Amino acid sequence: MAASSSTTKFQLTLPLVLHSISPGLAAYHVSRARALGVDDPALATSHCKRCGGYLFDGTSEIRVVRPGISKRRKLSRKLSKDKDSDSRVVSKTCLTCGYCDEVTLDRGNATLFPMPRKRTKTSCSSPQGIITLPTDLSHARNDLNPPKLASMTPSPLPSRSASQIPTSNPVSRPSSLPPTAKSTPESSSVPGSSKPARSKGRNKKTGLQDMLARNRERERQEQQKKAGEGSAGGLAAFLSGL
C-alpha cells in the first residue's frame, strides 16, 4: 500500500514539475495517469479532460454562462423542463484541442429568492394605475390659479375731439446768449499740460542763475583775499630787508 501511494503521488506531481520545462510532456503524463485510473480533483479542474493540457496559462477560455446558450442545454431544457435549468455553468474551452467542459454552479439559497415578474404594458395602461385627485384638491388648485388676463386689461381712455385739444404756441428761445465755442479735447488738453511744463522750466532757470551768482561772489571774495595777503607779504618782506 505504501508503494502504491507513493507511486500515485509521483504520477500526480510529475505533470506539475514538467509543465515549466515541457508543457506537451506534462499533458502526456496527465493523460497517462488518467488512463491508469489515477485522477485527482485538482488535475480535473486545472487540466483539459481530453488532451491533458494546462488550462490556466492562456491556452483556454473560461466563462460563466447560462445553460441556454449551448444547443445541448436548449434541447435538454425543452425536454426536461427542470426548474433548476436557469442555473449558471462554468464553461471551460481548451484552445489546444477545442474541448468544452461545463460545470454547473451550486445555486445555494438562490431558490429562496424568486425572480420578480416582468411587468406588462396592459397593467400600465389599465385604469387602476390612474391616480385621481379628490374634489377638495381640485377646487384648491382652481383657487390657486392666477386671474385671467382679460380681467386685468385697463379700460380705454375717452377720446377727445381735435377742437378740445389745447394748442400751445412754440416758445422761442432767447437769442441773447452768445454762442459758446465748442472746445475740442486737443485744445483743452494742450494749455493745461503746457502750464506745468513752463513753470518747471522757469524754476530751473532761476535756480541756475542763483548758483552762477553765488559762484561769482565766491571767486571775487577769494581774489580779494589773495590780493590782501600778497600786499601784506610784500610789505613784510620789505621791512625785513631793511
- Give residue-wise pLDDT tens across range 146-197: 555 545 555 666 555 555 555 555 455 545 555 554 544 444 444 444 555 5
User: Is it the case that residue 121 has pLDDT exceeding 80?
Assistant: no
Q: What is the pLDDT of residues 67-119, one digit of tens each?
A: 765 555 555 555 544 444 567 888 889 998 999 988 888 777 767 777 777 77
**C-beta of residue 54 within 8 angstroms of C-beta of residue 23:** yes
Chain mean position to CA 210: 74
DSSP letter for each residue of 82-111: -GGGG--EEEEEETTT--EEEEEPP-GGGG
Which one is predicted more confidently, 70 or 64?
A: 64
**What strand order describes the sheet that includes 89-94?**
60-65, 89-94, 100-104
pLDDT in tens, 194-233: 555 566 666 777 888 888 999 999 999 998 888 877 766 6
Nearest to 95 by CA among 52, 45, 55: 55
Note whether 38 and 12 are within 8 A (CB): yes
pTM of the model: 0.37
Query: According to the model, what pLDDT value does residue 216 have?
Result: 92
Dig out the grid coordinates for 97 from the structure: 484541442
- With a cut of 60, say whether residue 52 has pLDDT above it: yes
The CA–CA distances, whole Å, from 217 to 126, 142, 221, 223, 228 equal 122, 107, 6, 10, 17
What pLDDT sits at residue 191?
47
Residue pair 36/66 in contact (Cβ under 8 Å)? The answer is no
Instruction: Please check whether residue 96 is in contact with residue 59, taking contact to mean a CB–CB distance below 8 angstroms.
Output: yes
Taking alpha carbons only, the member of 195, 174, 175, 192 closest to residue 183 is 192
Q: Which pLDDT score is estimated for 217?
A: 92
CA dist., res. 180 & res. 182, Å (int): 6
Q: Which helix (H) or strand (E) covers residue 65, if one does?
A: strand 60-65
> CA-to-CA distance for 53 and 19, rounded, in angstroms?
9
Q: What local confidence, expressed as pLDDT, does residue 173 receive? A: 54
pLDDT at 139: 54
What does the pLDDT read at residue 207?
Answer: 83
